Amino acid sequence: MRSDSVLKGTQQAPHRSLFNALGYTKEERERPLIGIVSSYNEIVPGHMNLDKIVDAVKMGVAMAGGTPVVFPAIAVCDGIAMGHVGMKYSLVTRDLIADSTECVVMAQGFDALVCVPNCDKNVPGLLMAAARLNIPTIFVSGGPMLAGRVRGEKRSLSSMFEAVGSVAAGTMDLEELEEFEEKVCPTCGSCSGMYTANSMNCLTEAIGMGLKGNGTIPAVYSERIRLAKHAGMKIMELLEKDIKPRDIMNKKAFMNALTVDMALGCSTNTMLHLPAIAYEAGVSLNLEIANEISAKTPNLCHLAPAGHTYMEDLNEAGGVYAVMNELDKKGLLETDLITATGRTVKENIAGCINKDVDVIRPITNPYSESGGIAVLKGNLAPDGSVVKRSAVDAKMMKHTGPARVFDCEEDAIEAIKTGKIRAGDVVVIRYEGPKGGPGMREMLNPTSAIAGMGLDLSVALITDGRFSGASRGASIGHVSPEAAVGGPIALVMEGDFISIDIPSNTISVQVSDEILKERKANWTPRKPKITTGYLARYHSMVTSGANGAILTVPGQDV
């Protein structure tokens, strides 16, 4: 046992005395030491209930004969961070979470790990740590928020951001805005649509690192407390059987996760997080694979913001396993893989039927024959860009228009809200990539402003930054190489025509190679916007969004 290094033998007498200081009994010290990473805090709505989840996990661990030990992980709320300097600090926490978890686990000698995350960066950060540490690990999230209700209709956080745009457009008054403000986020939990947090919690199930219901059981349901107890008990089984994250998260499991991603219509942020997790697991995962899987995977769900169903509806329809069962009818999944349930994928999804065909389309009647995410390439994005195809209206699947160029998010928002963007335009927001931001901000404010102004069926937005899972419309992010390193997006000029063809997976600027080469020769790199603190270190180490924006050190291969 790894905990022998801190609990067994004469040399460890000082260590045991410190466990005595913590109140642990001799009996507790003789049991396996199970670390519980808790992302609980009082600033993230998705995390305010994690103290109850952690207490339930502790009980489950103790019931099964282990000694639970809780330690923290940080978290930020992307919604609260949105639209100001705080969003620069969102993606970067993913690596802080992975690194700090590695440090505590290695320093304290835990035998196994239970990860209790919920929101956007905590789930991938802890999955990265799990793959890196490779000790028996299981996940149990805090669960999704219930949808809000405004005047009889279900609503979510994306409705709130779009309402702000509607006020700017004069189509909603302040009294209506206040009603939205009071009602769209009615409970604790990760925001109620298929946004990044819920996408990653669902994919944790799909990849095999969480129990059934991990991604969909609402945060306020007592069923989630029971799930947490079962996760605490299950980790003892995984420890006994020596089932580790890299046994579970192999190449085939990542293919399953991508397949489920396409069927669910997950957030485009999964195209950052899955490659980063795979990297830690020693698996190569590039954007090319995403299009290959998308081409053969039907899109079965249109959860908000793509449609009018929510996580609570997906849960009632049978959850992730019901989606996987539909996919398995066409042989689209590898089902002989071991999972954190201690059973195979095939055993997990057996009998998990689709209970609501309006929420989960049958495999014979999908929303589309191809998946919910597309990777676009062309002379504007030689290394790729990403769009949530399932949240794009048919009218915008192909679009050509003049570029309206902005070198930061704030300038673009000002132009949108003051009526300077017109139907047919292509809004370009650059120098917001992993290095250029630094931190690769989400662009929910500008996409919501476009929707709120009634322009989502006529205006596209492209950026080397990224989009919230709550964004909808022709929103194309992760344009790589980014502007800060001289990618073609840095060379676009006001009025250049940009062509987007989502069915053909292409994006291009209608400028000749010769002119682009001439512009590149005259291009001057910009000085970093932030030169001190963690963001400065992040700027110096982060790689392209096309590689998952992972951090490397000099000489390390991506």
Q: How many Cβ atoms from other residues are within 10 Å of residue 70's Cβ?
A: 17
Alpha carbon distance 196, 373 (integer Å):
13
Residue with tokens 């005395």: 17
Alpha carbon distance 47, 196 (integer Å):
15
Pick from 422, 438, 489: which is nearest to 462 by CA? Answer: 489
Q: How far is CA 62 from CA 28, 55, 56, 269, in A?
A: 9, 11, 10, 36
- Catalytic residue selected from 156, 368, 468, 475: 468
Helical axes 319-328 vs 251-264, angle rounded to 10°: 100
Q: How many Cβ atoms from other residues are within 10 Å of residue 378's Cβ?
A: 19
Cα angle for residues 185, 186, 191 (degrees, 5° grid): 40
Pick from 221, 231, 210: which is nearest to 59 by CA? Answer: 231
Alpha carbon distance 308, 302 (integer Å):
7
Alpha carbon distance 243, 457 (integer Å):
49
**Which phi and psi (to 5°) does residue 471 adopt?**
-75, 145
* Beta-sheet pairing, 426-429 with 398-406: parallel
Cα angle for residues 282, 547, 98 (degrees, 5° grid): 60
Q: What residues does 400 pair with on adjacent strands?
A: 499
DSSP tag of 489: G
Active site residue 190: no
Alpha carbon distance 187, 220 (integer Å):
7
Q: How many Cβ atoms from other residues are within 10 Å of residue 534's Cβ?
A: 16
Residue with tokens 């009889």: 152
**Which phi and psi (to 5°) does residue 135 adopt?**
-115, 155
Q: How many Cβ atoms from other residues are within 10 Å of residue 149's Cβ?
A: 12
Alpha carbon distance 365, 367 (integer Å):
7
Residues noted as catalytic: 468
